[in-house]
Amino acid sequence: MASSASGLDEPMERLHREWREVVQARRIVVKIGSNLLTGGGEGLRPDWIAARAQEIVALMATGRRVVVVTSGAVAAGRPLLKLNRPLASVQEKQAAAAAGQGVLMRHYEEAFDTLGVHVAQALLTRDDVENRQRYLNARDTLKTLLELGLVPIVNENDTVMTDQLKFGDNDTLSANVADLVDADLLILLSDIDGLYDSNPRIDPSARFIPLVERVTPEIESMAGGVGSLVGKGGMATKIKAARMAARSGCRMVLTSGFRKDPISEVFAATPVGTLFLGLENPLPARKRWIVNARVGRGEILLDAGASAALLQGKSLLAKGITDVLGDFSRGAVVHCQSPDGQQVAKGIVNYNSGDLACIAGRHSRQFEGVLGYLGAEEVIHRDNLVLTRELRVSASIQQE
Ligand code: GLU
């Protein structure tokens, strides 16, 4: 391997260079898993939580802002149900989460209050980030809390969630929160010390990977199947979180929460865990939301001229629309298809499907006569459009 003037191997030098940026992070999301909170036993460990609160308050004293995404509601609630057996149904898990969330918050409250810092609970669901208005509200509230010097403590709102509407695991939730608050660093505290090229618990020759520049299919294959390693989703959900964080331009450090000072150590000069880099030119927040948004049952078919205009960065006008498929309301996110059947863009539409069908192929001068009201000139404004090409560049997008 090539050695440089610093005496470090080239990849190591790159890692150290990138780590200097990690240390500079100002807005940080720390994700804490259940195994750490319970230490493998019943109930939560208040001392462990108190020690993490100390680390976080020390970071805040340097002007940094921190959001905690925490698991542990189910783990804290389970003993309170007094079942003396594992939880058997979704309802029992939701009941445990309902019973345990308060206990979990009490521990965080006590730990931070002692240090003169207040916490604020935020329970989110996937709906909250997929619905544009709720997404904006959640974003504003979290940012306001950070500006006011509180520590938001976020968990999934397990009690009301159905499987279809879940984030499902707190790794995914934490990457969504990092995106919401424009974090520059996401720290996943786990019970494994980073990424290996195979499962180190069964393969003694597993190689540690200190730096991931991009989440490629090869990196994904290292995660193995869901649940192959630790936590609720195993390594797969951690890689998925890294992919999403990268798309927001946010770095992610996966490190062991069993280390002595797992959070402070990230801000020391020596790299710990695995560092996943973020995209250098992330899409703006509005476009990122569109990328993540679920597409309703609707599609807009374009003529060749409109497809070409979109690719040149123009807005979508009704004139270039040949057909409207499916049923959608104004403000929905829909796909746009070129005449050769390719999906060219995804965007927020200014008309519902019924009205759009009436104005398709027409000039905006005719809108008022046809619809009885004067709507927007653009069917999808270019600020509300993400080209499929941009999705690919982001490299990490799960398209519907
Ligand atoms: N939200 C769950 C809880 O608080 C945990 C989900 C996870 O650990 O990924 O118990």
pLDDT, one tens digit per residue, over 225-283 is 444 343 445 788 999 999 999 999 999 999 999 999 999 999 998 999 999 999 988 88
Predicted model pTM: 0.87
Give the span between the Cα atoms of 353 and 344, in whole angstroms: 19
The protein residue whose alpha carbon is closest to atom 8 in ligand 1 is: 71
Ligand 1 contact via 183 beta carbon (within 6 Å): no
What order do you get walking across the sheet with 274-276 strand by strand?
119-124, 151-156, 65-70, 27-32, 185-190, 251-256, 274-276, 211-212
Give backbone dihedrals phi and psi of 7, rounded to 5 degrees, phi first.
Answer: 85, -5
Give the span between the Cα atoms of 80 and 389, in whole angstroms: 51
pLDDT at 164 over 60: yes
Q: Which of 78, 155, 163, 238 to mutate to test the pocket of ligand 1 (most atoms within 8 A of CB)?
A: 155
- Per DSSP, the three-state class of 192 is coil
Ligand 1 contact via 72 beta carbon (within 6 Å): yes
Q: Which of 107, 158, 171, 176 to mutate to test the pocket of ligand 1 (most atoms within 8 A of CB)?
A: 158
Ligand 1 contact via 152 beta carbon (within 6 Å): no
Q: Mean per-residue pLDDT for 368-391?
A: 91
- Give residue 150 CA to ligand 1 midpoint distance, Å: 22
- Do the strands 333-337 and 298-302 form a parallel or antiparallel pair, or are they unpaired? parallel
State both tokens at 204: 């003694």
CATH code at 10-287? 3.40.1160.10
Give the span between the Cα atoms of 168 and 193, in whole angstroms: 23
Q: Mean per-residue pLDDT for 30-57?
A: 94
CATH code at 295-387? 2.30.130.10
> Bigger pLDDT: 11 or 259?
259
| Residue 159 DSSP symbol | G
Which residue spans of the chain are classified as CATH 2.30.130.10?
Answer: 295-387
In which element (H, E) is residue 321 found? strand 321-326
Which residue spans of the chain are classified as CATH 3.40.1160.10?
Answer: 10-287
Q: Which residues pair with 385 in a beta bridge?
A: 347
- Predicted pLDDT of residue 146: 98
Ligand 1 contact via 73 beta carbon (within 6 Å): yes
